[in-house]
Amino acid sequence: MRIKINSSAIKETRWHQLATRFCIGGLITAATGLIAKRYGPAVGGLFLAFPAIFPSSATLIESHQKQEKEEAGVQAPKRARQAVSIDAAGAAMGGIGLLVFALFVTEFIEKFTPWLVILAATAAWAAVSFLLWFLRKEA
Amino acid sequence: MKEILVRFLVGGLSVSLFAFLGDLFKPKSFAGLFGAAPSIALATLLLTVGKDGPHYAAIEASSMIAGSVAFFVYSSAVSRLMMHRAEKALLAATTLLPLWAAVAFGLWYGLKK
């Protein structure tokens, strides 16, 4: 299956859903800072990989799928569950990319220009995640 | 207070951007990759480096290794649960959050010893 732009999902996304994600992301980031301040950076660092928007994204996918399939007369709940499951499997592959991001930053942030290291680590996350997705698709 | 507000705004923007990218793509398995984007890490590490220096950021990133493994275990568990059991997405995703915490803290503690 080829990668495509899904314009319908953008149209279906409501403002309150965007606001929810913004608030969850903001709250977790602020909380991570507070946890690091209170318990130290070693504990705070764990939350850099917290699945912050996962529950809200899964709910969004489920509701979009139900709406889409019900309009097409297909059994909606089962298809919606499958869509969430497939999305979560993709997130698991991205999780391996996240591990590479963390290893990259740990190894290089004190040796090179920090913001460049963070940028390169993000590129490494994307490269590893996309490669794993592609390899799994081909298998 | 100002620092918390800055973290809230930068974190909210970063998470929203990656979530938007996730919405943008098809198929679902590819879009799902963006659910594991380093959105919170990006916002936090950039702010941390500026305020506390690269050594502090390196300590945070080293703990993130355990958090990332926990993320992989958590999202794999959500995927399996949703495929095989008739659960609501929100229920499955939130009830499995303690699994993330257990793996993250367990692994971090184990590596620390």
Tens digit of each residue's pLDDT (9 = 90 or more) over B34-60: 999 999 999 999 999 999 999 999 999
Cβ distance of A102 and B65 shorter than 8 Å: yes
- Does the pLDDT of residue A43 top 70, yes or no? yes
- Show residues of chain B in contact with A30, CB under 8 Å: 4-5, 7-8, 11
pLDDT value, residue B6: 95
Q: Give me the count of residues in chain B.
A: 113
- In this predicted structure, which of A34-38, A63-67, A129-133, B97-101 has the lowest mean pLDDT? A63-67
Closest approach of A131 to chain B, Cα-based (Å): 11
A5 in B contact zone (CB under 8 Å): yes
Contacts of B56-60 spanning 24+ positions with Cβ under 8 A: B56/A41, B57/A41, B57/A105, B57/A109, B57/A114, B58/A105, B58/A106, B58/A109, B58/A110, B59/A40, B59/A41, B59/A42, B59/A45, B60/A36, B60/A41, B60/A42, B60/A44, B60/A45, B60/A48
- Does the pLDDT of residue A114 top 90, yes or no? yes
DSSP-assigned letter for residue B25: E
- Does the pLDDT of residue A138 top 80, yes or no? no
Range among A31-45, A52-66, B17-31 rated most confident = A31-45
- How far is it, in rounded angstroms, from Cα A98 to Cα B46? 16
To probe the interface with B, which of A4, A8, A50, A119 has the most B CB atoms within 10 Å? Answer: A50
Q: State the helix-helix crossing angle for B39-52 and B54-84, rounded to 10 degrees.
A: 170
Cβ distance of A5 and B39 shorter than 8 Å: no
Closest approach of B34 to chain A, Cα-based (Å): 7
Q: Which chain B residue lies closest to A112 (C-alpha atoms)? A: B54
pLDDT value, residue B110: 92
Cβ distance of A94 and B34 shorter than 8 Å: yes
Q: Give me the count of residues in chain A.
A: 139
User: Taking a C-beta distance cutoff of 8 angstroms, is the pair A97, B33 a contact?
Assistant: yes
Cβ distance of A54 and B8 shorter than 8 Å: no
- B12's CB contacts (< 8 A; 6+ apart) are A21, A22, A23, A25, A26, A29
Q: Which residue type is seen at A4? A: K
Nearest to A49 by CA among B93, B32, B18, B37: B37
- How far is it, in rounded angstroms, from Cα A118 to Cα B48? 12
- How far is it, in rounded angstroms, from Cα A104 to Cα A96? 12
pLDDT value, residue A69: 66
Cβ distance of A49 and B70 shorter than 8 Å: yes
CA gyration radius for chain B?
A: 16
Number of alpha carbons in the 13 Å side-chain half-sphere of residue A76: 14
